Amino acid sequence: MMCWKNNKSVGASLMNRGEALGKPRVGRVGYINCFPIFYPLEKGLIKLSAQIVADHPSNLNSLFAAGDIEVTAVSSIAYAHQCSSCVVLPDLAIASDGAVWSVALLSRVPLSQLKGERVSLTPYSATSIALLQILLSRFYEVEVEYFYRPQGVSPWWGEPKATLVIGDEALKTIYRYLEEDELCANQKCYVYDLGAEWKKFTGKQMVFALWVVRRDFMEQHPVLLRETWLALQEAKSWSSRHRRFIAEQAQSLIRIPAEIMEDYFRHIKYELYLNGLHQFFEYAWHCGVLDSQVQAEVWRDPVVEPVKHG
Ligand SMILES: C=C(O[C@@H]1C=C(C(=O)O)C=C[C@H]1O)C(=O)O
């Protein structure tokens, strides 16, 4: 199995090679949030015959839309935009049931006072951007001026009044703020966890990303698909049984203490909460983010008994 960070020059040749070998190209969000799923696979503790493509969510969304990966986590809103060409895999997602810790709006003022202010958006997200739009316009009833910051700059680039962060950037920034209490107090930074905000207003879980398979791959390679899905399920289950160990391994990668990482891995969920997902799609439609209502089409493993969703 290969793992590589997507990069245009190397990427194309590796991807073609993968296709020739008849292995699926499997997309992995390159953040610590996916570490529990991919650690056992990348370490060979659980066998997966695939090429792993690690990247930011927005890049995975584009690669999948272009047909350059067969099975991947994509932003749930990106799935809604291309649902006719793919099918959702069950019992896997990047989700939360309340606070998620790694998707947050950092703001210099309370959220209700953001009216007319400039809000910076991370270029790496799709779902969290839609979620922020829904929360601000529908629940806080504030209209703001959004702008995308360039890739690789600090979240406060361009001096916005508030800034959206996801993934490792969110975890690291919030952890630093917590450590340097004063810094936060001096610069007045309010931290709004978007998973918690969503739960507060809707009472539902939030599905930030879900796993999808291209429809053509599903039809042409049912056995490969089944093996891939089973490996992902096994990895999820392995990590939930070894949470402390996983947190210790993650600690050195992200430089956040293992106790905190263990708590993080308790907050972040890997369940496909269809109820929360459909509620999110409905609000996205009402807010004009989606053109139509979307129902997720979930792949059913023809062999294994169906498992219950939350
Ligand atoms: C919970 C998270 O959800 C993420 C948010 C995504 C998005 O906003 O499109 C996509 C994948 C996830 O990485 C996170 O980034 O930690």
pLDDT tens sequence across 79-116? 999 999 999 999 999 999 999 999 999 999 999 999 99
Q: In the prediction, which pLDDT does 255 show?
A: 95
Q: Would you say residue 5 has pLDDT above 70?
A: no
- CATH code, 195: 3.40.190.10
Beta carbon of 228 within 6 Å of any ligand 1 atom: no
Q: Is the same domain home to 122 and 211?
A: no
- The reply to whether 197 falls in a domain is yes
CA-closest residue to ligand 1 atom 13: 167
Q: Is the same domain home to 107 and 198?
A: yes
Q: In the prediction, which pLDDT does 4 show?
A: 35
Range of the domain at 212: 2-94+207-276
Could you tell which of 74, 92, 128, 168 is best to mutate to test the pocket of ligand 1, judged by most ligand atoms within 8 Å of the CB? 128
Q: Is the same domain home to 110 and 183?
A: yes
* Amino acid code (one letter) for 235: A
Helical pair 222-241 and 35-42, crossing angle rounded to 10 deg: 110
Q: Is the same domain home to 82 and 19?
A: yes
Q: Is the same domain home to 234 and 89?
A: yes
- The reply to whether 71 falls in a domain is yes
Q: Which atom of ligand 1 is nearest to the CA of 131?
A: 8
- The reply to whether 180 falls in a domain is yes
- The reply to whether 12 falls in a domain is yes
* Amino acid code (one letter) for 25: R
Question: 166 C-alpha to center of ligand 1: Å?
Answer: 6
- The reply to whether 169 falls in a domain is yes
Domain count, the chain: 2
Could you tell which of 94, 105, 135, 270 is best to mutate to test the pocket of ligand 1, judged by most ligand atoms within 8 Å of the CB? 94
CA dist., res. 152 & res. 249, Å (int): 25
Whole-number mean pLDDT of the chain? 91
Q: Is the same domain home to 183 and 50?
A: no
Q: In the prediction, which pLDDT does 17 show?
A: 39
Q: In the prediction, which pLDDT does 16 show?
A: 43
Q: Is the same domain home to 84 and 217?
A: yes
Beta carbon of 35 within 6 Å of any ligand 1 atom: no
Q: Is the same domain home to 108 and 253?
A: no
Q: Is the same domain home to 83 and 107?
A: no
Can you tell me which residue has the tokens 């190209």? 25
- The reply to whether 58 falls in a domain is yes
Q: Which atom of ligand 1 is nearest to the CA of 102?
A: 16
* Final residue of a structural domain among 202, 234, 263: 202
Given strand 145-148, what is the order of strands in its sheet?
A: 145-148, 118-121, 162-166, 103-107, 190-193
Q: Is the same domain home to 269 and 130?
A: no
* Final residue of a structural domain among 180, 202, 224: 202
Question: 30 C-alpha to center of ligand 1: Å?
Answer: 10
* Final residue of a structural domain among 202, 224, 248: 202
pLDDT range class, residue 304, cuts 50, 70, 90: low
Beta carbon of 171 within 6 Å of any ligand 1 atom: no
Beta carbon of 122 within 6 Å of any ligand 1 atom: no
Q: Is the same domain home to 90 and 215?
A: yes
Could you tell which of 28, 32, 33 is best to mutate to test the pocket of ligand 1, judged by most ligand atoms within 8 Å of the CB? 33
Q: Would you say residue 184 has pLDDT above 80?
A: no
Q: Is the same domain home to 145 and 193?
A: yes
What tokens does 227 get? 């093996």
ipTM given for this complex = 0.98
